[in-house]
Structures are given as C-alpha cells and as structure tokens.
Amino acid sequence: MTAVAGTVVSVSNFRTPGGRKASSDSPAQDILCCDVGVNFTGTYAAYTSPTTDGFSAAAVTTAIQNARRNGRTVTLLSACGAMPGLETSTPLGAYACVVPWQSATAGTICGALTGGTLAAEHAGALLAQTSPVFIQVCFKEV
C-alpha cells in the first residue's frame, strides 16, 4: 500500500449536477456528488500505480454514509481533485484520483499529490497540513 495515508476530515456540499440522476439498476440508485476534505501524512513516493504509490484515503464510503444519515448504502463511482489544501503555507493538491474496484480497497480513493506549483508531483515527507485537500466524489446510493 501507499506510504501516504489520508484521513477524511469533512464531507460537504452534496449535489446532483445537472439535476437528479438515477441509474437503470433495480432498485433505482441515486447518483450524487460531494466534496471530501482529506488531511495527508507520511512520506510521498512518486505515483506509478493507484494501489502502491501516491496517497490512499480510506473509509470515504463510511464518511459519506455517516454524513448522509439516511440509511442507504453508498458505492464510490469516481473522484477528482476539487480544491488544493495547504501544507503549512504551500499549496497541496490531488490529481489522478482513482477509485479501485477491488473489494479489498472498496471505499478508498487513491492518487497522486501535487507540490507547491500544483503542476508537479509532491516530493518527500509531507509537512503539517493547515487546511485539507478537497476531492470531488461521485457516488451512488441505494
């Protein structure tokens, strides 16, 4: 697994961009998006594989379900960087986000972190984050 661990610190801004979407599955499953705030710790390794490098933010599914409080089951569909956080006073962003489909990593988001320019990968140990990185997550619930 990855050397950088992500801890979900907030889930907010639930929305249905473009109006309510429902899958064709039976029973019908609503498709929504939200923003997930994540703090990262550890030493960053260059991103080459979504399950061995970069970052891993576990328990995203549980955090969304806890925020929704409607008793429905959440399944992650996709994720992408939404807003950089701060590593001390330097921007820290997420890109190349992946939602692995393997059952062992379901509910996890993996990907690469950017350094201060937000255009190049982060290098080395992470400093203390002063604000979380936000990742936009699309999910379905039934």
Q: What is the pLDDT of residue 53?
A: 54
Domain containing residue 64: 4-141
In this predicted structure, what is the pLDDT of residue 98? 78
- Asked if 55 and 2 touch (Cβ cutoff 8 Å), the reply is yes
Phi, psi of 73 (to 5 degrees): -90, 130
Q: Which alpha helices (DSSP H) does 1-142 contain, by range?
A: 60-68
Number of domains making up the chain: 1
| Residue 107 DSSP one-character state | T
From first to last of the 142 residues of the chain, give the pLDDT tens digit: 457 888 899 999 999 876 666 666 656 667 899 999 999 888 877 766 655 555 677 788 889 999 999 998 888 888 888 999 999 899 998 877 877 766 566 677 888 888 888 888 888 888 889 999 999 999 888 7
What does the pLDDT read at residue 74? 86
Which amino acid would we find at residue 29? Answer: Q
C-alpha–C-alpha distance, residues 18 and 90, integer Å: 34
- Whether the upstream peptide bond of residue 17 has omega within 30° of 0, thus cis, is no
- Predicted confidence at residue 64, as pLDDT, reads 93
Residue ranges of E strands in the chain:
4-15, 21-22, 30-44, 55-57, 74-83, 85-87, 90-98, 109-114, 124-125, 129-131, 133-141
Predicted structure pTM score: 0.85
pLDDT of residue 1: 43
Task: In the chain, count H helices and then E strands.
Answer: 1, 11
